[in-house]
Amino acid sequence: MWWYQQGLSFLPSALVILISAACVFPYIIGVLLHHVDPLLPYISDLGTTPPERSLFGITFCIATVYVRYKQVSALNPEEPKLLRLNKAGLAFGMVSCLGIFIIANFQKNVIYVIHAVGAFLVFGIGIIYFLVQTIISYKMQPQIHGKDIFWIRFTILLWGTVNLVILIICTLILISLIGVDYIKMQRWNPQEEGFTFHIIAIVSEWSLLFTFIIYFLTFIRDFQVISEMFGIVSQPPMQNSTANFVSKSVV
């Protein structure tokens, strides 16, 4: 059995593939048609993605967030504090998914305010979602998974937070230097005012996107022990040499 055939590990895998495709293909098309700057365009400049593909990606995003919620609930039925934290994570995750829908349907050069709200929901609330998941990972170690998973997620969370702060600061600086109209600028000249902050903001935005992708990839191992067909969650074999799994309902 291939790794992506184990449990529901295909969910985070498909989500990562769809997110990557939603950025790579519009970038290639935009560069070929000279619609975007080939050197580090804003992710928002790649707004030619069809709504159908966006909805497809949102479906996997919601499924990943929800299955993660059910997994944590099933493995910790007698931990009220952890269950409350898990519900909060579900709420933050769903709100972040809503942001993806908003970004896909309200381009920044048409209705910037709504697009900015969507970006905040995706990145800002998304970071909070990862914070909740990192805390859950800390509380679930070492019974459910090893300490390495927690530290990996913590490192990714820290890196994502730093990039989010840098992105916000550079955006505010650009608005103060040029005004909100800088949002509509898709081609920049190195001699233009604020060009350095523009480049830093773009690098931070792309780095933040890859932070999300890598974080979701860490869910693959967790989802490999879930069997939706039989309605069970299997506990990783590292916990008990005599019993390879623990079955708990996720429905």
**What percentage of the chain exceeds 90 in pLDDT?**
22
Inside any domain, residue 249? no
**Which residue matches tokens 């931990």?**
79
Other CB atoms within a 10 A radius of the CB of residue 177 amount to: 13
Q: What's the mean per-residue pLDDT of the chain?
A: 74
Inside any domain, residue 201? yes
Domain of 197 in residue numbering reads as 7-226
Inside any domain, residue 90? yes
Q: Is the pLDDT of residue 244 over 70?
A: no
Residues 6 or more apart in contact with residue 232 via CB below 8 angstroms: 226, 245, 247, 248, 249, 250
Inside any domain, residue 232? no
Going by their DSSP bridges, the two strands 226-227 and 232-233 should be labelled as: antiparallel
Inside any domain, residue 151? yes
Q: Is the pLDDT of residue 82 over 60?
A: yes
Residues 6 or more apart in contact with residue 248 via CB below 8 angstroms: 74, 75, 77, 232, 233
User: How confident is the model over 158-174, as pLDDT tens digits?
Assistant: 999 999 999 999 989 98
Total number of domains in the chain: 1
Inside any domain, residue 184? yes
Query: Using CA atoms, how far apart are residues 111 and 57, in angstroms rounded to an integer?
Result: 22
Inside any domain, residue 50? yes
Inside any domain, residue 18? yes
